[in-house]
Amino acid sequence: MPDRLKEVPYPIAVVTTTDSDTGRFYGQAVVWVTQVSYEPLRFVMALGKTRYTPTILDKSGICVINWIDDPNIAKIFGRQSGRTVDKFAQLLPWQYELKEWFGVKLPFLTTGKYSVICKVKRKIEDTNEDLPGTHNVYLLAGGTVYENDGRGFLNYEYGSL
Ligand SMILES: Cc1cc2nc3c(=O)[nH]c(=O)nc-3n(C[C@H](O)[C@H](O)[C@H](O)COP(=O)(O)O)c2cc1C
């Protein structure tokens, strides 16, 4: 990635989901997520092929995008993998709550500004043979937007976490 692009500021979000087989909660930090349509409400999100969270999202097809304001939560979700640790066990009890959507209990982070429930519409895999892309793209249908008690947004400065 060209160094100059590392200066572009992005608000930090955490995408959370639930394993439809075990009921366990997963999530990862994500800055490459943005709204792309008002009506219907749509988002796109890029998730790295080496991450564990997308393997769970591919099964559940449903997730929550939570914009956060706490660097410690960004570290919990962005600097370790759900393959080996339970990230939710590292949160304080009031930092997330469960809401049921489509018969699934999903974890919503409560410390940031907004959370939006989303369904996967399409997964676009980057399969370029010469240079396979590092990330896959998810097109998401947005649903209810929840306002939380958080102070605002947290912009990511590359290398700051
Ligand atoms: C601030 C921040 C932003 C990140 N943004 C993204 C992103 O947009 N897409 C992505 O795939 N990974 C992103 N990551 C990396 C993942 O969050 C990280 O690899 C995480 O440990 C993956 O966890 P998992 O294996 O449990 O899914 C970001 C990490 C940080 C700290």
**Structure confidence at residue 3 (pLDDT):** 83
DSSP letter (8 states) at residue 53: H
Q: What is the pLDDT of residues 19-30, one digit of tens each?
A: 999 999 999 999
Q: Is residue 34 part of a domain?
A: yes
Q: What is the pLDDT of residues 64-117, one digit of tens each?
A: 999 999 999 999 999 999 999 999 999 999 999 999 998 999 999 998 999 999
93: CATH: 2.30.110.10
Q: Is residue 3 part of a domain?
A: no
Q: What is the pLDDT of residues 5-14, one digit of tens each?
A: 888 889 999 9
Cα separation values, 95 from 66, 70, 73, 107, Å: 12, 10, 9, 10
What is the best residue among 14, 30, 161 to mutate for testing ligand 1's pocket, by most ligand atoms within 8 Å of CB? Answer: 30
**What atom in ligand 1 is closest to the CA of residue 80?**
21
Q: Is residue 6 part of a domain?
A: no
**Structure confidence at residue 15 (pLDDT):** 98
Q: Which residues line ligand 1 (CB under 6 A)?
A: 12, 28-32, 46-48, 51-53, 74, 77-83, 135, 156, 161
Q: Is residue 63 part of a domain?
A: yes
Q: Is residue 52 part of a domain?
A: yes
End-to-end CA distance of the chain: 18
CA atoms in the 13 A half-sphere facing the CB of 19: 12
Closest CA to 135 of 31, 27, 65: 31
Q: Domain of residue 51: give its range.
A: 11-152
Q: Is residue 5 part of a domain?
A: no
Q: Is residue 54 part of a domain?
A: yes
Domain count, the chain: 1
Cα separation values, 85 from 28, 81, 82, Å: 12, 6, 5
Residue 138 has pLDDT above 90, yes or no: yes
Q: Is residue 1 part of a domain?
A: no
